[in-house]
């Protein structure tokens, strides 16, 4: 038999996940000229593009235009998409409840039947926890849930958030926290220009929220926000930005961090922007975004639901390896709130049949090659890319370089004959037959294009980019209707 990678026997690759990492990987693979490669991409949702569709804030439409690049990849010969097909997670995974929805499932072992390589690009779907009392009270939610809810992710469409509360507390100083704070402060007319889920537009526009408090456990010089995201918080149509002067005064450690240049341009500029905010007088807008630093949540309180949060005041110290850490001073403050959104980072989960590093929330790997954590040996034909490879950090573009690293490792393996031999027939037809048997509702890329067209069509009369479906059944119906035309 011809070796895998030739025109007679193309290298068959399954990519699990259709976010940026999955698409950049497919692009790097399909543009190879010396190796014949076919790619089948699977996603648990009928819709592709991962967090570009279900994470990126709806008021940032330009960022979503990266989808045009992914569409070009999808149009390449040798590419197929099977949406609404989940690769079965590990039982211990911690994936949010999908309610009555039972996605079609394949296992990693099923993929081993028909593919020379399986590349995991399935991102980080769950959240990190704070580990404090009251974290699980109703009214305390992970930002992952809130973000997925306003973006019409079907597993989260029926979540409810107490938006009648006058004060929301957002925990974390990363760009997701900034997104969440902004979304809570947008006006109806701003929301109505976006593809925010219909159910969220009304809830957010009519909310009783007057104050959004954003808590950073370290100081202004250590915040993880990037500059444009901070600036935007000061440019809201109907929300004032509020920072107390005392909050932006740097302690000695942070002053040295900034003055020595160790802070880098982003953190240094952030400090300047925060200082500018602190000098502003509130204009009496409908809502206020209040930034607090050196403040950690220590307990969430309430009888049956969130009523308040206890904040511990921190000071900064260097630890034994020189990192700047927040250390509890013991000072406490309790503030009333009915809604706490914990935005302290996403977390990955394992899939059945592959090793998983529970602590780091990633698939153990070396340059994308999945490795056995006990022996360090490569697991032939298994690769990882994107957030599930390196953890939940980095912007969309970061995944392009990351995908190149994984693809280079795979191509090196192919060149050196380290190719997994599928247990069954390694052909596109055999794989399609398996999908038809095990995942009869799978959505092809043509099916997705029909969903896309229907959503855009719903948006047109309203002057909106699209009106998203938030139920899988609606998506499947649109995909089927499109297939008939
Ligand atoms: P993802 O984008 O998460 O894609 C993973 C895909 O795998 C999803 O489609 C998922 O449905 C699928 N999947 C999961 N489990 C399975 C399974 N078991 N079987 C099959 N499929 C599965 N970056 C920017 O540059 N600009 C921004 O404005 C920006 N905004 C962001 C907003 C939020 C809220 C978040 C969380 C991140 C944002 N980022 C932004 C970062 C960017 O989205 C990530 O870098 C990128 O999406 C990571 O890509 P990925 O492909 O690894 O994962
Ligand atoms: P992130 O950037 O890693 O920020 C996480 C934040 O949570 C940090 O401020 C961190 O503080 C804080 N935190 C962690 N543990 C905590 C705890 N126990 N108590 C209190 N605070 C805690 O993560 P993210 O915001 O989820 O963003 C993920 C990635 O997506 C980032 O790379 C981000 O840039 C990207 N993204 C980009 C955009 C954009 O470009 N517009 C939008 C959204 C997301 P410490 O620093 O002290 O650990």
Residues 6 or more apart in contact with residue 379 via CB below 8 angstroms? 354, 355, 369, 370, 371, 372
Beta bridge partners of 335: 309
| 397 Cα nearest atom in ligand 1 | 25
Instruction: Check residue 103 and give its pLDDT.
Output: 74
Instruction: Check residue 3 and give its pLDDT.
Output: 83
3-state secondary structure of 479: helix
- Write down the domain spans for the chain: 11-125+348-442, 128-345
Q: Ligand 1: distance of its center to the CA of 18 in Å?
A: 8
Q: Ligand 1: distance of its center to the CA of 312 in Å?
A: 32
Instruction: Check residue 95 and give its pLDDT.
Output: 56
Residues 6 or more apart in contact with residue 410 via CB below 8 angstroms? 13, 29, 117, 119, 368, 383
List, chain by chain if needed, residues with CB within 6 Å of any ligand 1 atom: 16-22, 42-45, 50-51, 55-56, 60, 63, 86-87, 89, 121-123, 125, 147, 176, 179, 346, 351, 386-387, 394-396, 398-399
Rounded CA-CA distance 411/418 in Å is 10
| CATH superfamily for domain 128-345 | FAD/NAD(P)-binding domain (3.50.50.60)
pLDDT 10s digit of each residue in the chain, 485 long? 678 999 999 999 999 999 999 999 999 999 999 999 999 999 999 999 999 999 999 999 999 999 999 999 999 999 999 999 999 999 865 555 566 667 799 999 999 999 999 999 999 989 999 999 999 999 999 999 999 999 999 999 999 999 999 999 999 999 999 999 999 999 999 999 999 999 999 999 999 999 999 999 999 999 999 999 999 999 999 999 999 999 999 999 999 999 999 999 999 999 999 999 999 999 999 999 999 999 999 999 999 999 999 999 999 999 999 899 999 999 999 999 999 999 999 999 999 999 999 999 999 999 999 999 999 999 999 999 999 999 999 999 999 999 999 999 999 999 999 999 999 999 999 999 999 999 999 999 999 999 999 999 999 999 999 999 999 999 999 999 887 66
Instruction: Check residue 142 and give its pLDDT.
Output: 97
Instruction: Check residue 485 and give its pLDDT.
Output: 64
| 57 Cα nearest atom in ligand 2 | 42
Instruction: Check residue 130 and give its pLDDT.
Output: 97
Q: What is the pLDDT of residues 66-105, one digit of tens each?
A: 999 999 999 999 999 999 999 999 986 555 556 666 779 9
Which of 55, 95, 150, 174 has most ligand 1 atoms within 8 Å of its beta carbon, as the pocket-test mutant? Answer: 55
Instruction: Check residue 450 and give its pLDDT.
Output: 98
Angle at 340 between CA 339 and CA 346, to 5 degrees: 135
Could you tell me if the CB of 172 is within 6 A of ligand 2? Answer: yes
Instruction: Check residue 482 and give its pLDDT.
Output: 80
Rounded CA-CA distance 186/165 in Å is 16
Which of 224, 328, 390 has most ligand 2 atoms within 8 Å of its beta carbon, as the pocket-test mutant? Answer: 224
Instruction: Check residue 363 and give its pLDDT.
Output: 98
11-125+348-442 adopts what CATH topology?
Rossmann fold (3.40.50)
């Amino acid at each position: 038999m011809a070796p895998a990678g030739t025109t007679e026997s193309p290298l068959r690759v399954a990519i699990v996940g259709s976010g940026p990492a999955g698409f950049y990987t497919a692009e790097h693979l399909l543009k190879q000229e010396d190796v014949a490669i076919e790619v089948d991409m699977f996603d648990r949702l009928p819709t592709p593009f991962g967090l570009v569709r279900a994470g990126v804030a709806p008021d940032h439409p330009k960022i979503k235009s990266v989808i045009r690049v992914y569409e070009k990849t999808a149009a390449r010969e040798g590419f197929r998409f099977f949406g609404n097909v989940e690769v079965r997670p590990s039982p211990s995974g911690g994936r949010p409840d999908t309610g009555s929805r039972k996605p079609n499932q394949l296992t990693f072992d099923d993929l081993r039947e028909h593919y020379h390589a399986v590349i995991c690009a399935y991102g980080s779907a769950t959240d990190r926890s704070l580990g404090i009392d009251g974290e699980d009270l109703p009214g305390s939610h992970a930002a992952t849930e809130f973000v997925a809810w306003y973006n019409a992710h079907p597993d989260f469409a029926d979540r409810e958030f107490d938006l009648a509360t006058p004060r929301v507390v957002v925990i974390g100083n990363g760009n997701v926290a900034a997104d969440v704070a902004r979304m809570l402060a947008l006006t109806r007319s701003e929301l109505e220009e976006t593809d925010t889920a219909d159910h969220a537009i009304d809830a957010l526009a009519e909310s009783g929220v007057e104050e959004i408090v954003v808590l950073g456990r370290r100081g202004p010089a250590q915040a993880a926000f990037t500059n444009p995201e901070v600036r935007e918080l000061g440019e809201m149509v109907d929300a004032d930005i509020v920072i107390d002067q005392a909050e932006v005064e740097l302690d000695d450690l942070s002053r040295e961090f900034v003055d020595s240049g160790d802070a880098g341009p982003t953190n240094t500029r952030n400090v300047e922007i925060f200082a500018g905010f602190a000098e502003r007088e509130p204009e009496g807008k409908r809502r206020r975004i209040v930034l607090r630093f050196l403040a950690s949540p220590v307990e969430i309180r309430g009888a049956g639901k969130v009523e308040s949060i206890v904040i511990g005041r921190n000071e900064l110290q260097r630890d034994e390896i020189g990192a700047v850490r927040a250390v509890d001073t013991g000072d406490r403050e309790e503030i009333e709130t009915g809604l706490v959104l914990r935005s302290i980072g996403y977390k990955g989960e394992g899939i059945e049949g592959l090793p998983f590093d529970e602590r780091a929330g990633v698939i153990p790997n070396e340059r994308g090659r999945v490795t056995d954590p006990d022996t360090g040996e490569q697991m032939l034909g298994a690769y990882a890319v994107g957030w599930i490879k390196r953890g939940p950090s980095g912007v969309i573009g970061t995944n392009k370089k990351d995908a190149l690293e994984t693809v280079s490792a795979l191509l090196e393996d192919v060149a050196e004959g380290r190719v997994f031999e599928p247990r069954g027939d390694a052909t596109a037809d055999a794989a399609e037959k398996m999908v038809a048997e095990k995942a009869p509702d799978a959505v092809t890329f043509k099916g997705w294009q029909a969903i896309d067209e229907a959503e855009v069509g719903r948006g047109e009369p309203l002057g909106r980019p699209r009106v998203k479906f938030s139920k899988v059944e609606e998506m499947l119906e649109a995909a089927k209707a499109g297939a008939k035309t």
